[in-house]
């Protein structure tokens, strides 16, 4: 073989090697098999030993109608459901505890340890209730007694087996992390809480730090080059789930959500699982470049209708999402046969008390006027909230005529509240409970609402 031929042969193998290496670096790496994920949110776990009776606890419940006293029984039912389903992974988008009590964090971590021993991986992020919470209490009669909360470092240590101890990488000076719980699947656990500013109470609002955004965009580019499937989860919504949510309920959507969602969508993120508002809803935003980001909000296990999601991620990148409810718990539900009925009655009665309080704060109204407006608009606002929390909103029976009459009012407060009711009842696409998303292109592969009444208002 001549020198020229040998040189050409070496060059051929060298070029082939470079091409092959580049191809391997950028080729898609589909999952080797289907992955099952369960998402449940806002469990607000509260150990009953901290007190569930007495004047102080009743006073707390009057201002917050979550099923706190029942939260441990509900969580046990959720853990049992997970063990039955045997998913590969569980995602919990924050508000893990009632108010950041260390004892409740440790108890929840023990439940997750049970799942770990069953071969089920769990990832968590903090919610606004979970870290540096000055309202971490136990209740005894008329007394409210301060107990230890957790710092960010303690949070990471307690949940070291739930993302924080085996993360691929952390964003700089942040609790935001990147994990690869399944080969080929990257998941961002995003901390959008503002726990450093907690003084007299926990800060409800949320934001994505700019340093976290820059880091995420860098990692998304890396994920694309390596062919990874990418999901994210965080506590606060990354976009509005109904018209003007960021105006009237700004604490439940991250600051600058429009710009942040646009940048993440254009960087390649297609799905973020969220919680916080306790509504079971899916919405999407498509950028001018044609990139779509889905915000999949999962309702709270301690608020009607106590839902959770089962997500089947196929090896070809299709994500099949189905919704279910926790129906039975080991707890006295009185005359109610199911947790759905019990939680609905609890939320309805609670909203009757909370709506006037909301009006006093939102419109700076005196108490007597707030109560009057609550009585006038409550009969349509409460069913609208229940419909939104259930997902796949439908106008409940009996409120159409009342809504029509109130729309004729010239009173600014009434007009505003009617607008909120209509926003709650307007279901933004896609479907909320059951849907299939193609992660390859961000399109809906199949969109439907099951007709077996998983979520009804009756």
Q: What is the pLDDT of residue 315?
A: 85
Give percent of the chain with pLDDT exceeding 70.
Answer: 91
Q: Is the pLDDT of residue 19 over 60?
A: no
Q: How far apart are CA 280 and CA 262, in angstroms?
A: 23
The pLDDT of residue 398 is 84
Q: What angle do CA 126, 56, 329 make, to 5 degrees?
A: 60
Mean pLDDT of 203-217: 98
pLDDT digits (tens, 9 = 90+) for 298-345: 999 999 999 999 999 998 889 999 999 999 999 999 999 999 999 999
Considering only CA atoms, which of 271, 342, 341 is closest in space to residue 309?
A: 271
Taking alpha carbons only, the member of 50, 157, 160 closest to residue 99 is 50
User: pLDDT band at 446, cuts 50/70/90?
Assistant: low
Burial of 136 (0-12, 13-18, 19+ CB in 10 A): buried
Contact 106, 154 (CB under 8 A): no
Q: Please state, for a pLDDT cut of 90, what percent of the chain lies above it.
A: 82
pLDDT tops 50 at residue 115: yes
pLDDT tens for each residue of 379-406: 999 999 999 999 999 888 889 899 999 9
Between residues 62 and 107, the one the model is more confident about? 107
pLDDT score recorded for residue 384: 96
pLDDT surpassing 80 at residue 455: no
Per residue, the 3-state secondary structure of 355-416, as one string, reads HHHHHHHHHCCCHHHHHHHHHHHHHHHHHHHHHHHHCCCCCCCCCHHHHHHHCCCCCHHHHH
Average pLDDT estimate for 449-456? 35
**DSSP code of 52?**
S
pLDDT of residue 170: 98
Rounded mean pLDDT of the chain? 90
- Residue 194's pLDDT is 97
Is the confidence at residue 6, as pLDDT, over 70?
no
Contact 276, 251 (CB under 8 A): no
Average pLDDT over residues 175-184: 97
Q: Is pLDDT of 417 > 70? A: yes
Q: For residue range 222-279, what is the model confidence (pLDDT) as tens digits?
A: 999 999 999 999 999 999 999 999 999 999 999 999 999 999 999 999 999 999 999 9
How would residue 361 be classed by pLDDT, with cut points 50, 70 and 90? confident
Averaged over 115-122, what is the pLDDT? 98
pLDDT at 30 (0 to 100): 62
Q: How confident is the model at residue 374 (pLDDT cuts 50, 70, 90)?
A: very high
Pick 179 or 439 by higher pLDDT: 179
- Name which residue leads in pLDDT, 54 or 4: 54
Q: Which two tokens stand for residue 437?
A: 């998303």
What per-residue confidence (pLDDT) applies to 29? 58
pLDDT of residue 64: 86
Rounded distance between C-alpha atoms, residue 84 and residue 308, angstroms: 14
- Residue 65 is predicted with a pLDDT of 83
- DSSP secondary structure string for all residues of 151-197: -HHHHHHHTIIIIISS-SEE-TTSS-EEEEEETTEEEEEE----GGG
pTM given for the model: 0.90
The rounded distance, in Å, linking the Cα atoms of 139 and 54 is 8
């Amino acid at each position: 073989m001549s020198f020229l031929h040998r040189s050409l042969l070496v060059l051929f193998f060298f070029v082939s090697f470079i091409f092959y290496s580049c191809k391997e670096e950028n080729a898609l790496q589909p999952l080797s098999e289907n992955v099952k994920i369960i998402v449940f949110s806002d469990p607000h776990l509260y150990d009953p030993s901290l007190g569930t009776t007495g004047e102080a606890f009743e006073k707390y419940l009057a201002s917050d109608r979550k099923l706190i006293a029942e939260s441990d029984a509900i969580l046990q039912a959720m853990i049992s459901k997970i063990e039955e389903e045997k998913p590969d992974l569980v995602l919990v988008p924050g508000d893990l505890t009632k108010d950041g009590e260390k004892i409740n964090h440790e108890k929840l971590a023990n439940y997750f340890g049970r799942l770990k021993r069953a071969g089920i991986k769990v990832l968590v992020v903090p919610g606004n209730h979970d870290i540096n919470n000055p309202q971490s209490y136990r209740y005894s009669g008329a007394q409210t007694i301060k107990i230890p909360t957790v710092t960010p470092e303690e949070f990471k240590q307690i949940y070291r087996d739930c993302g924080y101890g085996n993360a691929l990488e952390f964003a700089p000076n942040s609790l935001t992390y990147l994990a690869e719980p399944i080969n080929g699947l990257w998941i961002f656990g995003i901390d959008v809480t503002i726990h450093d500013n907690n003084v007299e109470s926990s800060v409800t609002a949320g934001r994505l730090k700019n340093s976290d955004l820059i880091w995420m965009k860098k990692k998304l580019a890396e994920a694309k080059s390596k062919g990874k499937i990418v999901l994210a989860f965080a506590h606060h919504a990354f976009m509005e789930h109904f018209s003007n949510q960021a105006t009237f309920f700004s604490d439940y959507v991250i600051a600058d959500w429009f710009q942040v969602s646009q940048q993440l969508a254009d960087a390649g993120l297609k799905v973020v699982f969220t919680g916080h508002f306790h509504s079971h809803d899916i919405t999407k935003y498509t950028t001018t470049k044609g990139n779509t980001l889905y915000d999949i909000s999962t309702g709270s296990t301690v608020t009607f209708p106590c839902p959770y999601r089962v997500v089947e991620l196929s090896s070809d990148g299709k994500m099949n999402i189905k919704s279910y409810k926790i129906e039975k718990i080991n707890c006295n539900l009185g005359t109610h046969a199911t947790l759905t009925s019990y939680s609905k009655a609890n939320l309805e009665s609670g909203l009757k008390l909370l709506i006037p309080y909301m009006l006093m704060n939102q419109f700076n109204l005196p108490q007597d006027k707030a109560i009057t407006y609550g009585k006038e608009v409550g009969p349509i606002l409460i069913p609208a909230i229940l419909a939104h929390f259930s997902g796949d909103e439908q106008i409940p029976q009996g409120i159409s005529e009342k809504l029509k009459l109130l729309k004729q009012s010239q009173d600014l407060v009434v007009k505003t509240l009617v607008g909120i009711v209509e926003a709650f009842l307007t279901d933004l696409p896609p479907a909320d409970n059951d849907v299939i998303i193609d992660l390859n292109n961000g399109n809906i592969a199949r969109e439907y609402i099951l007709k077996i009444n998983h979520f009804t208002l009756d």
